[in-house]
Structure 1
Amino acid sequence: LAWAQFLQDHEKVDVAGMNLIGPSDALEALEILKKVVKKPLAVQPDSGFPKEVDGRQFYLTTPDYFAEYAKFFLDMGAGIIGGCCGTTPEHIEKMSRTLVSFDRGRKNTSLSVSETSGKARPEIPQDQRSNLGKDLALGNWISTVELVSPLGWDLTKILEKAQALASAGVKYVNIPDGPRASARISALTTAVEILRKTGLEPILHVATRDKNLLGLQGDLFGGHAQGLRDVLLITGDPPKVGKYPNVTGVFDVDSIGLTRMVKGFNQGLDFGGEELPDTSSFVYGCGVNPAFPSMEMELERAFKKAEAGAEFFITQPVWDQDKLQEFLEKLKATGVPVLLGLWPLASYRNALFLNSEVPGVVIPQDILERMKKHEDKEAARAAGVAISREILKRMKPWVNGIQVSPPFGNVKTALEVLAP
């Protein structure tokens, strides 16, 4: 902090920043600088921590990993973002493509309407909008399972999984909207077909990445017309560069602005402030990430989502139970019900990948050691289920339900986590 204050006070310093450290350390340093320095901030980290092989230093972190951290730097307020040791033209290209889209989505948090001719009407009571709304209003325990839309257009397998869940007594399924910016059949189509053919109540994820405000409004109205009521409003991942190098994100608004827009629908107003023929009956929530490198910043955004009208939160999966509990304790002040996200680990390799390659995810060493003991696939799966149930047992006092995201859509795994 003393060094940060020196940079702030020195009249010949125009920009404060750091380099020659890895992305994770750079993020921690940036958070410290931000508390003191009001000048523009610069971050130019190494691509990661080098490893020595045959007497030579190699940087093994992938460009995708580096690009993920660039998003965190932008979120933290950095105005200049680059790279140092170990970075290559591919690192910089992937970082720049990611930031072009992500910058728009994170910074436009409000809808601006010059003139409003419509008058807001009372919202339909929450318990009359959907079964989920009723469970939320009554404080009932809520269990939901995430099913990812398939690649291509054949819905047979996902409908079979949904039917198996319905037969086991599950009431709700979450349908992500192009997770990790991948090309899949429309989440809206998947949700409508599951509703029609299984009776399960889908919670449709709506991301601001792929469509402008008119497109988002049209999809929401279309889903409502076909019986969908529950939505999770998210900003969404920037398009992955790998397979789709020319794809760009739209991000007319972020999840906070989208939450305000859906609240307006429930009050009989479109996003331009014009009166709709009737009020909608959406039950709408947002995501929160307890593993975000800056807990303070993530909590700040969570409170903004609550102020915008979010009626429930669903967390990203977290294995660091101390950090998760701290986040949930602070999040409780929003007064918004929370569904705990759980990802049962499938194997030791799965745990290593998440711990090493996904920024912000930390798998504690004791969990890694537990997963490492199991070379048999079924034994590893069972261990992953047991770990998820242990996390749930500890966190249950701070949450109102759970969302299980079973690897590979494994219904058996999901039901074992949900078992009493």
Structure 2
Amino acid sequence: MSTFLERLKSDILVADGAMGTLLYAYGLDTCHESYNLTHPEQVTAIHRAYIEAGADVIQTNTYGAQRFRLKNYGLEDQVAQINKAGAELARRVAGDKTFVLGTIGGFRSQRQCDLTMDQILEQTLEQVTALLETQVLDGLLFETYYDIDELTQVLQAVRPLTDLPIVTNVSLHEAGITADGKPIVEALSRLVMLGADVVGLNCHLGPYHMIQSLKQVPLFAQSYLAVYPNASQLAIDGESSQFQFSQNAAYFGKSAELLVAEGARLIGGCCGTTPEHIRAIRRAVKGLKPIERKVVTPLIPEADFVQRVRRTDTLVDKVKKDITIIAELDPPKHLDVEKFTEAVKAIDQKDIAAITLADNSLSNTRICNLSLATLLKEEVKTPFLLHLTCRDHNLIGLQSRLMGMDLLGFNHLLAVTGDPTKMGDFPGATSVYDVTSFKLLGLIKQLNQGQSYSGASLRRQTDFTVAAAFNPNVKNLSRSIRLIEKKVAAGADYFMTQPIFESHIIEELADVTKDVDQPFFVGIMPITSYNNAVFLHNEVPGIQLSEEFLAQLEAVKDDREACQKVALDESKRLIDTALKHFKGIYLITPFLRYDLTLELIDYIQEQTQA
């Protein structure tokens, strides 16, 4: 039997289709890869069905058989067993007439992945090692890689380990453009140079957009082209309310002819495809031979890109020069905004750098901060700094909201993951968390480059300056420098801390951050009463008030004015400590008690003018 690459040199090879689609049809909807051990008969039946439909190449049922994904099912210690079983099952059905590729899926897909690149490489190599140890494979297939950097580093790590052919398939959000906004031809060319024997596309897009994408890709002298389209776009069945792909096998076959005309030599299917799709491909390519020459159609450029002039009056610019104050207000939980508006206008008179509006803090439902900022924009001269939580928005909503903020001129942001919904007033609500604050920071920076999350052009840049939140109320603050560095790497321009109630924490924060270039705004929240202090001290994780301060409050707890004076004096003492080390003060208004915020603003301004 000729080798896999020998066959590709002279023939069009038909690959298999989706594994998960058919496993779902069998009623198996948990960890697909674990079925190599628990339901081997169903896995082999699917392999057999694709071979009978005409597949020359099948892939192992190991796409997600990495420690990171298997951990979701408590199977992280069975990486080797699951991968080896997947390879052996495929070979048993394939015999010596069908090629078997060991499949490895990308980590950094549309879902959040917090693994470092070193961890990704370690887990990928663990999986690859298990697959190679079986010695039953004809090649390796790396598929569904949205992050080109991840795929190139994986290829560089794996290429020295084996002489087997390596197939690398990239996934796109937009036809012809990678997630970092580059033409797909650049990514595929890079993979060829790094030793990939077959390069191509799979998943997310259907045949039409993959044909359009391949039009810009030349025939490579050292590598062949592969393509595994999805069956179609997903649709919702009106009766069952289930997501379904189109039953379009005939269309798939016609598309296969066009893919061959663009240079594809390995053609299979991804999500939604079945043996019927593969049978249609087999019929369509019967008698066809690979093309030897091709006219490349360059990617049509986007409309002229508008380069924005960057602002020079950001909070970062201000705080690096002078003492800078920002003050936070929580939007109301009701539609009576009179007191809230009164508070905003009173703070606006104090000539501070920004008024910051929280975004459903503590998961309590409040009026949308963007709506309030828009309502008051013409009446208030102080810029608004808007919090944006990942909890309440999927990726579509996040980018949509960010584009809207930019159009409305709200360019100061705080990116936060957000407290889980079970903490708030609607504990049954769903926390979205498509991304955490780290990826949100990166998304905002990508928009500042004029690129959508999908890689498509926005036709002009956004102009955001973005803060990251930081909680210094931890047991070992010195260890937090790694978290700070990660947020800086993700794109944080500056930091806003959680409220601090002890001077020694401010001192420690100054020491820990002395080598950090990004400015810090130190959070100060005045206590409103003795009961408020007791609650914070005993029920809010990470917050500790000094015993001396608590005793002072308790001594005057029945005298409202005396209690308030003790509390404000403590806030002023904390401000004095903060101003010795930091130029940024972040005043957090409790319960719309803006009178306390006004007094502290006056105090800071008096101290800095003295």
Provide TM-score, normalisation by structure 2.
0.49
Does residue 370 in structure 1 map to residue 433 in structure 2?
Answer: no
DSSP-derived class of the 2:522 partner:
strand
From 368, 371, 388, give the equivalent of 1:186.
368
Where 2:511 maps in the other structure, the secondary structure is: helix
Deviation, structure 1 residue 309: 1.8
Please give the alpha-carbon distance, in whole angstroms, between the structure 2 residues aligned to 1:253 and 1:157: 34
Aligned to 2:106: none
Q: Cα 1:151–1:356, aligned 2, differ >3 Å: closer, same or farther?
A: same
CA distance in 2, matches of 1:118, 1:162: 41
Give the residue type in structure 1 aligned to 2:585. Answer: I
Q: State yes or no: 1:383 paired with 2:566.
A: yes
2:488 equivalent to 1:306: yes
The 3-state SS of whatever aligns with 1:203 is strand
Per the TM alignment, residue 356 of structure 1 is displaced from its structure 2 partner at its CA by 0.5
Q: Percent identity?
A: 28
Structure 2: gaps (5+ residues): 1-72, 75-110, 118-144, 148-170, 172-177, 184-304
Structure 1 SS opposite 2:513: helix
Aligned counterparts of 1:117 and 1:243: Cα–Cα separation in 2? 39
Equivalent of 2:349, from 161, 164, 167? 167
- Residue 118 (structure 1) aligned with residue 300 (structure 2): no
Aligned to 1:259: 441
**DSSP-derived class of the 1:195 partner:** helix
> Contact conserved, 1:119 with 1:275, CA < 8 A, in 2?
no
**Aligned with 2:355: secondary structure?**
strand
Aligned to 1:148: 330
Aligned partner letter, 2:467? G
Q: Is the 8 A contact 2:359 2:387 kept in 1?
A: yes
Residue 398 of structure 1 corresponds to which residue in structure 2? 581
Amino acid at match of 1:399: F
**In 2, Cα distance between the equivalents of 1:267 and 1:311?**
15
Q: Map 1:66-145; keep pairs closer than 5 Å.
A: 107=114, 113=147, 114=171, 115-116=178-179, 118=181, 127-128=311-312, 130-136=313-319, 139-145=321-327
> What secondary structure sits across from 2:348 in the alignment?
helix
Residue 409 of structure 1 aligns to a residue in which SS?
Answer: coil
Shift, 1:196, TM fit: 2.5
Contact 2:393 2:433 in 1 (8 A): yes
Alignment of 1:346-365 (within 5 A): 346-365=528-547
User: In structure 2, the residue corresponding to 1:287 is in which secondary structure?
Assistant: strand
Q: 2:600 matched to which residue of 1?
A: 417
Letter in 2 for 1:360: G
| CA distance, structure 2, for counterparts of residue 395 and residue 171 of structure 1 | 17
Give CA-to-partner distance per residue, 1:313-347, whole Å, 9 cap, x none: 00111212223321232123221101010011111
Deviates more, 1:208-217 or 1:396-405: 396-405
Aligned residue identity for 1:310: A
Deviations 1:380-399 (A, max 9, x none): 12221111111111122322
Instruction: Name the amino acid aligned to 1:265.
Output: L
Supply the distance in 2 between the matched residues of 1:390 and 1:124 (Cα, whole angstroms). 43
Contact 1:149 1:176 (C-alpha < 8 Å) held by counterparts: yes
Name the SS for the 2:514 alignment partner.
helix
8 Å contact 1:144–1:403 — kept in the other structure?
yes
Indicate yes or no: 2:350 matched with 1:287. no
Q: Distance in 2 between matches of 1:385 and 1:274?
A: 51
Is 1:315 the counterpart of 2:497 in the alignment?
yes
Please state if 1:329 is matched with 2:511: yes
Tell me, what secondary structure is at the counterpart of 1:244? Answer: coil
1:401 CA drift (Å): 1.3
Unaligned runs of 5+ in 1: 1-78, 81-103
1:244 alignment counterpart: 426
SS where residue 410 of structure 2 aligns?
Answer: coil
1:139 positional shift: 2.3
Report the AA paired with residue 392 of structure 2: D
Query: Aligned-pair distance for 1:294?
Result: 4.6
Aligned match for 1:268, one of 444, 450, 455: 450
Partner of 1:316, secondary structure, is strand
How far is 1:205 from its partner? 0.2
CA gap of 1:312–1:298, structure 2 versus 1, over 3 A, is: same
Query: SS of 1:269's equivalent?
Result: coil
State the shift of 1:106 in Å: 9.4
Alpha-carbon distance in structure 1 between the residues aligned to 2:370 and 2:480: 28
Letter in 2 for 1:392: I
Distance 2:498 2:115 in 1: 23
| Residue in structure 2 matched with residue 216 of structure 1 by the alignment | 398
In structure 2, do the counterparts of structure 1 residues 274 and 242 end up closer, same or farther at CA, with 3 Å as the change threshold?
Answer: closer
Matched AA of 1:312: Y
Shift of 1:363: 0.6
Q: Report the alpha carbon displacement of residue 134 of structure 1 after superposing the two structures with TM.
A: 4.0
Q: Name the amino acid aligned to 1:376.
A: D
Q: Could you tell me the TM-score, scaled by structure 1's length?
A: 0.69
Pair 1:288–1:119, CA change in 2 (3 A): same
SS of equivalent to 1:333: coil
Q: Give the Å deviation of 1:295.
A: 2.7
The structure-2 alpha-carbon separation of the partners of 1:288 and 1:270, relative to structure 1 and needing over 3 Å to count, comes to same
Deviation at 1:373, TM superposition (A): 2.3
> Larger relative contact order (C-alpha < 8 A, sep ≥ 6)?
1
Task: Call closer, same or farther: CA 1:318–1:299 in 2, change over 3 Å.
Answer: same
Amino acid at match of 1:161: A
Q: Give me the whole-angstrom Cα distance separating, in 2, the residues matched to 1:109 and 1:379.
A: 52
1:50-93 Cα offsets, whole Å, 9 max, x none, are: xxxxxxxxxxxxxxxxxxxxxxxxxxxxx99xxxxxxxxxxxxx
DSSP-derived class of the 2:440 partner: helix
Aligned-residue Cα RMSD (Å) equals 2.9
The separation in 1 between residues aligned to 2:354 and 2:394, in whole angstroms, is 28
Q: CA deviation at 1:192?
A: 2.0
* Alpha-carbon distance in 1 for matches of 2:579, 2:539: 29
Distance 2:368 2:574 in 1: 32
Which of structures 1 and 2 has the bigger CA Rg?
A: 2
Cα distance in 2 for residues equivalent to 1:277 and 1:363: 50
CA shift, 1:308, in A, is 1.5
1:285-322 per-residue CA deviation (whole Å, 9 max, x = no partner) reads: 11100003453554322211111221110011121222
8 Å CA contact 1:149–1:186 kept in 2: the answer is yes
Residue 421 of structure 2: SS of its match in structure 1? Answer: coil
| 1:273/1:293 CA distance change after superposition, 3 Å | farther
Q: Distance in 1 between matches of 2:394 and 2:424?
A: 23
Q: Does the 8 Å contact 1:162/1:200 carry over to 2? A: no
* Mapped contact 2:334–2:366 kept (Cα < 8 A): yes
Q: In the alignment, which residue of structure 2 is the partner of 1:14?
A: none
